[in-house]
């Protein structure tokens, strides 16, 4: 039995205990009848069945089944989600009175009513815009350097530097700003309450995430803010129609726990779980270890979904999952392949809107629902994702740095420090920014990176780095790095400390950190605002080195070099490819000429398996003699084309 199976079985054993310890009544003793039913439904199904969900981005209708994200979910699965997410993104803040903002929020509230009346579950998130109404933003500078708030909610404390038991100065302007916004959201929930509608509420989400202003001041401050939201809504305003969710960013955020009496559910946001299982089982086990077994556990945001067959096999069933929106260029539904969608939504253990009981007829219970069988095994499905292998369009005349990243389910963190300039003493002391062009060819995953510096002997070979840059899936952009954020040993360098360090640099790096990422990221034209070109990657003879690399390689391509792979439009599910031991199995949809070739991660062809006619159906090829490693397999024929990253053991 391998280590993964052992860990999954251990998680399953813990899960059996967890599911038995959950209360059947919500933490709010004054919960409305609807909130009691909603929570009880979640509790009685928890550990047995999982509720399907879908987040909304574009809310262009007040009718549930006309919401674009809901209709896209139906197109993918043939069913409607039982849970639908809405966002108070435009409900508060400096622009909340704008007609479009008000229309968006009102349609979301009306759609929530429609969902409830059809027996579904509304779930609300609140991207809380700057309460001081200075800017229409909720990110801190580390979350979005172009549009961010500097709102500091600790100025509402009696002691802004508190590290435990923070108390509010109720006469402060900051406190009043917070309460005013909380009251506005409370009034919206009261409107739902008057209509007999209950909902799930996840305030201050991704608790320790420093990219949000509410997560930037430490655990004690967050706890006080969460409790303010709960107490103001429940005890002061009388909002009793909610199931409350605490959403830590990490499964070990113990110091951010606002107190078990103030929430019903603990949830995590889990992205890039490409095998539909490993991250989900690991996170479940960690939550049980760190927070006990008396709370429902849910997935409040995700890309690819947790596979119910794997979860059931390990006695784990998250209460619900909710892919982020498909609209607004999110395309998170696409991160689960069609076969997995079909199997999960047709499983007796997954709850869709079509098999919800209806709130008028629902009766409270203190017993779990009847056991169910998933009805399939993930390993029997075609889970391959089509991969589009691309290079920038100007490589005939321009050089690029290509960072090739390949990860797996059991080792899913890619990282490496790519050296882009080295010398005895590089002086960047007069520069304030560094810009460079970036192209992320992975259409499913975003990626984070930054510039980093190694000082020379004059700095005792110290390491420093500024805030980084995030690029969305499939996007190209110019990143601007603010060098005033450069920190050594987590302390931002200023004054003479900054100039002394930046004038004695021995190496400049692009530092890459990516979880679950597979694909190529291209970099070009790394320059300072003072006109210094650190590297334009036009010297194709230059050998690019990486340090402390894991699942990452880099090379210069362009100007005629390294272009063995051209842009390929992949057709999902047209070709099936798998590797078992040293045998490659390929199934093509129709007869005709077909080219089958294997490339290494730098884009150079390793082997050609077929360049002529091929009959429809499955064919097998011997991989003997090919070194162990990660490769790109490309199959092209008349009317079909597919590319896939494979691992040869």
Q: Consecutive 10-residue runs of the chain (649 residues): their mean pLDDT?
A: 39 51 96 98 98 97 97 97 98 97 98 98 98 96 86 98 97 98 98 98 97 97 98 98 98 97 98 90 96 97 97 95 94 94 98 97 97 96 76 85 78 82 87 94 85 91 90 86 91 94 94 82 94 91 86 84 37 61 79 73 67 77 77 68 67
Domain 576-648 has CATH 3.30.460.80: no
Predicted pLDDT of residue 121:
98
Both structure tokens of 399: 């050089």
Closest CA to 281 of 321, 251, 248, 311: 311
- Domain edges within the chain: 33-380, 399-558, 576-648
Both structure tokens of 639: 């009317």
With contact defined as beta carbons under 8 Å apart, do 523 and 436 qualify?
Answer: yes
Residue 286 catalytic?
no
* Three-state secondary structure call for residue 335: helix
Strand 433-440 with 121-125, pairing: unpaired
With contact defined as beta carbons under 8 Å apart, do 616 and 593 qualify?
Answer: no
Beta bridge partners, 403, equal 521, 554
Predicted pLDDT of residue 74:
98
Distance CA 353, CA 118 (A): 8
Distance CA 191, CA 587 (A): 56
Choice among 206, 232, 272, 511 that is catalytic: 206
The half-sphere exposure of 611 on its side-chain side, counting CA atoms within 13 A, is 4
Residue 298 phi, psi (nearest 5): -140, 165
Instruction: Please report which helix (H) or strand (E) contains residue 339, including its range.
Output: helix 338-346
Return the biggest CA–CA distance within the chain: 81
Residue 301 catalytic?
yes
Same fold, 399-558 and 576-648: no
What is the sign of the dihedral through the CA atoms of 36, 227, 184 and 151?
A: negative
Distance CA 185, CA 182 (A): 5
CATH number of 399-558: 2.60.120
Confirm whether pTM is higher than 0.85.
no
Domain 33-380 has CATH 3.20.20.80: yes
The half-sphere exposure of 580 on its side-chain side, counting CA atoms within 13 A, is 5
Choice among 72, 249, 301, 511 that is catalytic: 301
């Amino acid at each position: 039995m391998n280590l993964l199976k052992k860990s999954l079985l251990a998680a399953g054993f813990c899960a059996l205990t967890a599911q038995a310890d959950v209360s059947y009544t919500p933490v709010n003793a004054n919960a409305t009848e609807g909130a009691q039913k909603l929570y009880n439904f979640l509790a009685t199904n928890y550990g047995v069945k999982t509720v399907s969900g879908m987040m909304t981005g574009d809310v262009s209708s007040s009718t549930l089944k006309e919401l674009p994200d809901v209709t896209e979910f139906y197109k993918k699965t043939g069913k409607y989600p039982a849970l639908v997410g809405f966002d108070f993104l435009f409900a508060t803040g400096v622009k909340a009175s704008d007609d479009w903002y008000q229309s968006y929020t009102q349609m979301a509230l009306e759609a929530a009513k429609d969902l409830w009346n059809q027996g579904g579950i509304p779930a609300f998130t609140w991207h809380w815009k700057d309460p001081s109404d200075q800017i229409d933003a909720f990110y801190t500078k580390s979350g979005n350097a172009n549009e961010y708030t500097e709102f500091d909610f600790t100025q509402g404390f009696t002691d802004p530097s508190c590290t435990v038991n923070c108390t509010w100065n109720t006469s402060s302007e900051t406190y009043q700003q917070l309460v005013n916004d909380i009251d506005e959201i409370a009034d919206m929930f009261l409107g739902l309450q008057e209509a007999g509608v209950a909902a799930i509420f996840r305030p201050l989400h991704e608790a320790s995430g420093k990219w949000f202003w509410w997560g930037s001041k430490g655990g004690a401050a967050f706890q006080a803010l969460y409790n303010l939201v709960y107490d103001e809504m429940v005890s002061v305003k009388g909002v009793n129609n909610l199931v409350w969710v605490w959403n830590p960013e990490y499964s070990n955020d113990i110091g951010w726990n606002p107190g078990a009496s103030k929430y019903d559910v603990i949830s995590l946001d889990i992205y890039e779980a490409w095998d539909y299982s490993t991250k989900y089982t690991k996170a479940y086990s960690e939550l049980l270890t760190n927070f006990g077994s008396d709370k429902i556990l849910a997935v409040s945001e995700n890309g690819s979904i947790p596979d119910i067959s794997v979860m059931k096999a390990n006695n784990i069933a998250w209460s619900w999952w909710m892919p982020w929106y498909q609209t607004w260029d999110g395309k998170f539904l696409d991160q689960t392949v069609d076969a997995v969608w079909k199997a999960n939504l047709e499983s007796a253990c997954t709850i869709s809107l079509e098999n919800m009981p209806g709130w008028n007829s629902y009766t409270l219970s203190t017993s779990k629902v009847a056991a169910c069988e998933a009805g399939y095994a993930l390993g029997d499905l075609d889970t391959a994702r089509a991969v589009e292998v691309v290079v920038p369009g100007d490589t005939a005349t321009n050089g690029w740095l290509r960072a090739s990243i390949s990860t797996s389910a059991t080792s899913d963190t890619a990282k490496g420090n790519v050296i882009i300039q080295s010398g005895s003493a590089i002086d960047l002391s007069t520069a304030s920014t560094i810009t460079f062009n970036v192209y992320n060819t992975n259409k499913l995953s975003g990626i984070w990176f930054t510039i980093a510096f190694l000082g020379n002997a004059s700095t005792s070979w110290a390491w420093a780095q500024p805030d980084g840059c995030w690029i969305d899936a499939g996007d190209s952009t110019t990143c601007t790095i603010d060098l005033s954020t450069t920190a050594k040993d987590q302390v931002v360098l200023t004054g003479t400390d900054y100039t002394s360090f930046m004038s004695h640099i021995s190496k400049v790096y692009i530092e890459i950190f990516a979880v679950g990422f597979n694909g190529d990221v291209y970099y070009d034209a790394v320059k300072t605002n003072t006109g210094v070109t650190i590297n334009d990657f036009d010297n194709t003879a230059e050998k690019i080195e990486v340090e402390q690399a894991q699942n990452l390689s880099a090379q210069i391509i362009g100007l005629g070099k390294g272009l063995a792979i051209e842009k390929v439009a992949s057709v999902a599910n047209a070709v099936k490819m798998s590797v078992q031991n040293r045998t490659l199995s390929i199934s093509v949809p129709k007869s005709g000429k077909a080219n089958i070739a294997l490339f290494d991660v730098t884009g150079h062809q390793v082997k050609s398996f077929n360049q002529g006619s091929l009959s429809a159906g499955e064919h097998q090829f011997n991989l003997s003699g090919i070194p162990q490693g990660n490769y790109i397999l490309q199959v092209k024929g008349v009317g079909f084309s597919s590319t896939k990253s494979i691992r040869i053991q």
